[in-house]
C-alpha cells in the first residue's frame, strides 16, 4: 500500500515510517521540520517538506494518490495551546481539514489519527478510562484533538472515508525531543546523563500511563491493516507517578542526583490512565514492553547520542 505519514520526521511518526517500510509499504512523508528532524526520515521514504496547511498539499495527493494517511503532524504543546488557542486550532483543526479534503478528492480510503487519551478525557472520574469515559478536555489542545475526532466521524458518514482515532497515553522512547515542554522521560533522561538537576513539578504524585513507542507503532499497524472506523485507547492501564518514574531513571542512569521539586504547573492533570481492552478485543493489540525495559532502552539510546 501507499501510505502518507504526516509528521514523519517526528518522534512517533519516524518510527512508524520505519515500520511501514520494513513491511514493504511505499511511504510518503509530509513534514515542515518545525519540530521534526530530517535525520529521522528513512531514506527509502519520499519526503515533501511542507506544512499541512499549505495549498500545495493537494498537488502531492494528485501526484501520489496515497491509499492511507497516518496523521501525526500537530501542534502538541499544551501550554502553547493555552497561551495561543487560535494558533493551536489553525494547526490542528484547519490542518486536518485541509488533509481530509485532499483525501476525499483524491481517492484516499482511510485515515489513522493520532489523538490523545489524557487530553480528551480531562480529569478522569474512573480509572483506567475506557473509550466511553466522559470527554471534558481542559486545554485548547485537548479540544482540538476531540474536535478532530468529530470531523473524522463526519467525513466517514458523509464521504465514506474510513478512520481510526488512536487515543495515546504518554508515549516515550528513542528519538523523543528532550528540549520541548512535553516528554518527561526524555527531559529527565537527558538531564540525568549530563549530570544536570531535573525539577519535578509540584509534589510529583501526579500519575501517567507510560506506553513505549514501539508498542504504539504496533497499534498503528493493527488499524492500518484492518478495515475499521472507530476510536481506540492505546495505553497500558498502569499508573506511574512522576516520583516513581524519576526513581526508576535514577537507578538506570546510576545517577546520584536528588529528588528536587518545583512549583506545580497550572492545569496539569492529577491522574491519567487508559483502558486498552477494546483494541485488544477488536484488533488483538496489547502492550508488550514493560516500563523498566522501555526506560532502559530509552536511556541506552540517549547515552549513545
Tens digit of pLDDT for each residue in 125-175? 999 999 999 999 999 999 999 999 999 999 999 999 999 999 999 999 999
163 catalytic per annotation? no
* Partner residues linked to 111 by β-bridges: 69, 163
Surface-to-core class of residue 263, CB atoms within 10 Å of its CB (0-12 exposed, 13-18 middle, 19+ buried):
exposed
How far apart are alpha carbons 49 and 62 in whole angstroms? 16
pLDDT in tens, 170-203: 999 999 999 766 799 999 999 999 999 999 999 9
* Partner residues linked to 172 by β-bridges: 212
How far apart are alpha carbons 78 and 81 in whole angstroms? 5
Closest CA to 113 of 219, 258, 259: 219
Surface-to-core class of residue 104, CB atoms within 10 Å of its CB (0-12 exposed, 13-18 middle, 19+ buried):
middle
The CATH architecture of the domain made up of 2-170+211-234 is: 3-Layer(aba) Sandwich (3.40)
Catalytic residue (choose from 121, 141, 155, 212) = 141
Asked if CATH classification 3.30.420.40 holds for the domain at 173-208+238-272+289-304, the reply, yes or no, is no
Confidence of residue 278 (pLDDT cuts 50, 70, 90): very high
Give yes or no for a contact between 203 and 178, defined as CB atoms under 8 angstroms apart. no
> What are the sequence ranges of the domains in the chain?
2-170+211-234, 173-208+238-272+289-304
For the cut 90, the answer to whether the pLDDT of residue 124 exceeds it is: yes
Q: What crossing angle do the helices spanning 291-304 and 184-194 adopt, rounded to 10°? A: 50
Over range 102-131, report the average pLDDT: 97
For the cut 90, the answer to whether the pLDDT of residue 21 exceeds it is: yes
Three-state SS for 173? coil
How far apart are alpha carbons 22 and 217 in whole angstroms? 12
Give yes or no for a contact between 234 and 177, defined as CB atoms under 8 angstroms apart. no
- Mean pLDDT of all residues belonging to the chain: 96
pLDDT in tens, 225-259: 888 899 999 999 999 999 999 999 999 999 999 99
Amino acid at each position: 500500500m501507499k501510505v502518507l505519514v504526516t509528521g514523519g520526521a517526528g518522534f512517533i511518526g519516524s518510527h512508524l515510517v520505519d515500520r511501514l517500510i520494513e513491511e514493504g509499504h511505499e511511504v510518503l512523508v509530509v513534514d515542515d521540520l518545525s519540530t521534526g528532524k530530517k535525520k529521522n526520515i528513512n531514506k527509502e521514504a519520499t519526503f515533501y517538506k511542507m506544512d499541512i496547511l499549505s495549498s500545495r498539499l493537494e498537488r502531492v495527493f494528485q501526484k501520489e494518490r496515497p491509499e492511507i494517511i497516518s496523521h501525526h503532524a500537530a501542534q502538541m504543546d499544551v501550554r502553547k495551546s493555552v497561551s495561543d488557542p487560535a494558533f493551536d486550532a489553525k494547526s490542528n483543526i484547519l490542518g486536518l481539514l485541509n488533509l481530509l479534503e485532499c483525501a476525499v478528492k483524491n481517492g484516499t480510503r482511510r485515515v489513522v489519527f493520532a489523538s490523545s487519551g489524557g487530553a480528551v478525557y480531562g480529569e478522569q472520574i474512573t480509572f483506567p478510562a475506557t473509550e466511553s469515559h466522559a470527554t471534558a478536555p481542559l486545554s485548547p489542545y485537548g479540544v482540538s484533538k476531540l474536535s478532530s475526532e468529530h470531523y473524522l466521524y463526519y467525513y466517514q458518514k458523509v464521504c465514506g472515508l474510513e478512520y481510526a482515532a488512536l487515543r495515546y497515553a504518554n508515549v516515550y522512547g528513542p528519538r523523543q525531543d528532550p528540549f520541548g515542554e512535553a516528554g518527561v522521560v526524555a527531559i529527565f533522561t537527558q538531564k540525568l546523563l549530563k549530570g544536570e538537576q531535573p525539577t519535578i513539578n509540584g509534589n510529583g504524585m501526579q500519575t501517567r500511563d507510560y506506553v513505549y513507542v514501539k508498542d504504539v507503532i504496533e497499534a498503528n499497524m493493527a488499524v492500518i491493516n484492518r478495515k475499521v472506523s472507530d476510536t481506540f485507547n492505546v495505553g497500558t492501564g498502569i499508573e506511574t507517578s512522576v516520583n516513581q518514574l524519576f526513581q526508576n531513571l535514577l537507578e538506570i542512569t546510576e545517577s546520584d542526583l536528588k529528588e528536587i521539586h518545583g512549583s506545580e504547573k497550572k492545569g496539569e492533570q492529577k491522574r491519567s490512565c487508559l483502558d486498552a481492552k477494546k483494541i485488544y478485543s477488536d484488533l488483538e493489540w496489547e502492550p508488550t514492553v514493560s516500563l523498566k525495559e522501555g526506560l532502559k532502552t530509552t536511556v541506552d539510546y540517549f547515552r549513545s547520542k
